[in-house]
């Protein structure tokens, strides 16, 4: 069983044989290599997932056949139950390729301190590859950052090893999500509504997050791959009622919150996520959470909730923020009241929480 080496990086995603990245449109052998590496990672992941599953879940997992289709479809990830009862999970080389490219960009941002580079490159790749074809992506992450030649991060062996490791773990999250559809019986009872389908997708996300925690891996390793889905449908929150999946930003937020709340369960307890400064990693995940909250708030209209009930909710959210700011993070009361809990971003977060609380009842 391969033990994928990891760097002390906290932003992670999925896969590719990098020898073929720059000329991915020309080198068929490269796509064959991508297919092989992706398959090996999926098989390793399925084995690890099975090891931490219940006996009932194992009985179902043992029936699953994993395959990697050699095609350029950038969003082909499927869980299927065939008419003869065969259970399958399919991932395309196209999806593997695009998510690896984005993973490399996020790791470059973390390692080299290039502000917002991960999202900038993810948007570039999504717009050109995912919405057109690989032929439109003519720049690797380092070329895009003007770091070609001898200054290319591709020559940093530690960084490259981290990308492969990060990529593998993120792929495991995606795999666990698809396994969940099998073990939770989602494929046995077809959904009758979009709302029901969204519920199943959230259940699969929750199962995947819990499974990675059992493996000692923070679910937030999947952040870059889920951000890719977000860029594929950038206005998912406001159009969520029309979708078969929950808005990707909401899925990312749930994943980040679960990771942060279960830090003690993934803190250096896995051969796949060792030697990480846990506090530094968790702080990074919190910063990502703030960013996701901000993106969600930009898509949310609060004007319809101007009632006294809504105002009371926002007030309680503010008071709760101040309490946590003082008691948990040891910040001065006046700074919490006048700066940390009253910023535009914090107000948006409070509005968001209250909106969801009120609409849920």
Say if residue 103 is in the same domain as residue 211.
Answer: yes
As a whole number, mean pLDDT of residues 164-179 equals 94
Decide if 4 is inside a domain. Answer: no
Say if residue 214 is in the same domain as residue 294.
Answer: yes
Residues 6+ apart with CB under 8 A from 147: 153
Decide if 7 is inside a domain. Answer: no
Q: What is the pLDDT of residue 56?
A: 97
- 204 vs 183: CA distance, rounded Å: 9
Phi, psi of 8 (to 5 degrees): -80, 45
Q: What is the pLDDT of residue 5?
A: 35
Say if residue 197 is in the same domain as residue 280.
Answer: yes
As a whole number, mean pLDDT of residues 58-87 equals 92
Decide if 9 is inside a domain. Answer: no
Q: What is the pLDDT of residue 149?
A: 80
Token look-up 């999504």 returns 126
Choose the most confident range, by mean pLDDT, from 34-48, 279-293, 347-361. 34-48
Q: 317 lies in which domain range?
A: 304-359
Which of 275, 298, 321 represents a domain boundary (last residue)?
A: 298
What residues are paired with 90 via a beta bridge?
67, 78
Q: Is the pLDDT of residue 174 over 80?
A: yes
**Crossing angle between the packed helical segments 223-232 and 93-112, to the nearest 10 degrees:** 120
Q: For the stretch 59-90, what's the b/e string if a residue is b when 16 or more beta carbons lie within 10 angstroms of its beta carbon?
A: ebbeebebebbeebebebbebebeeeeebbbb
- 180 vs 187: CA distance, rounded Å: 10
Decide if 77 is inside a domain. Answer: yes
265 pLDDT band, cuts 50/70/90, is confident
Say if residue 335 is in the same domain as residue 355.
Answer: yes
Residues 6+ apart with CB under 8 A from 197: 191, 244, 245
Lowest-pLDDT range of 22-26, 62-66, 184-188:
22-26
Neighbours of 322 (CB within 10 A): 17
Lowest-pLDDT range of 40-44, 53-57, 125-129:
125-129
Say if residue 321 is in the same domain as residue 288.
Answer: no
Say if residue 227 is in the same domain as residue 312.
Answer: no
Q: How many Cα atoms are found within 13 Å in the side-chain-facing hemisphere of 138? A: 2
Decide if 13 is inside a domain. Answer: no
Nearest CA to 214 among 86, 46, 352, 52? 52
Triad 302, 206, 164: Cα angle to 5°: 105
21 pLDDT band, cuts 50/70/90, is very low
Say if residue 325 is in the same domain as residue 206.
Answer: no
Which of 298, 313, 330 represents a domain boundary (last residue)?
A: 298
Say if residue 195 is in the same domain as residue 293.
Answer: yes
DSSP character for 8? S
- 247 vs 234: CA distance, rounded Å: 9
Reported pTM: 0.77
Say if residue 61 is in the same domain as residue 142.
Answer: yes
Say if residue 168 is in the same domain as residue 42.
Answer: yes
Q: How many domains does the chain have?
A: 2
Say if residue 310 is in the same domain as residue 180.
Answer: no
Q: Which two tokens stand for residue 15?
A: 């896969």
Decide if 94 is inside a domain. Answer: yes
Q: Is the pLDDT of residue 130 over 80?
A: no
Q: Is the pLDDT of residue 303 over 70?
A: no
61 pLDDT band, cuts 50/70/90, is very high
Q: What is the pLDDT of residue 115?
A: 87
Q: Are strands 77-81 and 64-69 parallel, antiparallel or unpaired?
A: unpaired
Decide if 248 is inside a domain. Answer: yes
- 346 vs 4: CA distance, rounded Å: 38
Q: Is the pLDDT of residue 264 over 80?
A: yes
Say if residue 71 is in the same domain as residue 192.
Answer: yes
CB 353 within 8 A of CB 317: yes
Which of 256, 276, 298 represents a domain boundary (last residue)?
A: 298
What residues are paired with 78 via a beta bridge?
90
- 221 vs 107: CA distance, rounded Å: 11
Lowest-pLDDT range of 9-18, 231-240, 328-337:
9-18
């Amino acid at each position: 069983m391969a033990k994928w080496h990891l760097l002390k990086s906290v932003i992670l995603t999925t896969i590719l044989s990098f020898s073929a990245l720059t000329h991915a449109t020309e080198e068929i052998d490269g796509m064959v290599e991508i297919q092989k590496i992706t398959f090996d990672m999926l098989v390793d992941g399925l084995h690890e997932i099975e090891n931490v599953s219940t006996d009932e879940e194992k009985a179902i997992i043992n029936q699953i056949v994993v395959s990697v289709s050699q095609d350029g479809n950038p969003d082909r990830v499927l869980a299927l139950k065939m008419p003869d009862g065969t259970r399958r999970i399919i991932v395309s080389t196209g999806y593997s390729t695009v998510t690896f490219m984005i993973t490399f960009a996020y790791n470059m941002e973390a390692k080299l301190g290039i502000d917002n580079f991960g999202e900038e490159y993810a948007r570039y790749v999504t717009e050109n590859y995912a919405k057109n074809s690989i032929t439109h992506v003519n720049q690797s992450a380092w070329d895009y950052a003007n770091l070609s030649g001898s200054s290319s991060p591709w020559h940093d062996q530690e960084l490259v090893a981290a990308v492969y490791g990060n990529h593998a773990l993120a792929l495991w999250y995606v795999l666990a999500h698809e396994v969940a559809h099998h073990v939770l019986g989602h494929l046995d009872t077809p959904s009758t509504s979009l709302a029901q389908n969204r519920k199943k997708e959230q259940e699969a996300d929750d199962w995947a997050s819990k499974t990675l925690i059992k493996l000692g891996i923070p679910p937030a390793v999947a952040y870059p791959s889920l951000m890719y889905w977000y860029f594929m449908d950038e206005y998912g929150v406001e159009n969520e009622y029309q979708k078969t999946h929950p808005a990707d930003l909401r899925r990312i937020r749930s994943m980040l919150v679960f990771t942060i709340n279960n830090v003690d369960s993934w803190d250096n307890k896995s051969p796949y996520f060792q030697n990480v400064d846990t506090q530094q990693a968790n702080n990074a995940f919190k910063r990502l959470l703030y960013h996701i909250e901000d993106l969600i708030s930009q898509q949310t209209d609060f004007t319809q909730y101007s009632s006294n009930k809504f105002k009371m909710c926002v007030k309680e959210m503010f008071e709760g923020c101040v309490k946590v700011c003082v008691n948990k993070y040891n910040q001065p009361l006046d700074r919490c009241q006048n700066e940390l809990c009253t910023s535009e971003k914090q107000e948006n977060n409070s509005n968001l929480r209250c909106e969801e609380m009120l609409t849920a009842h």
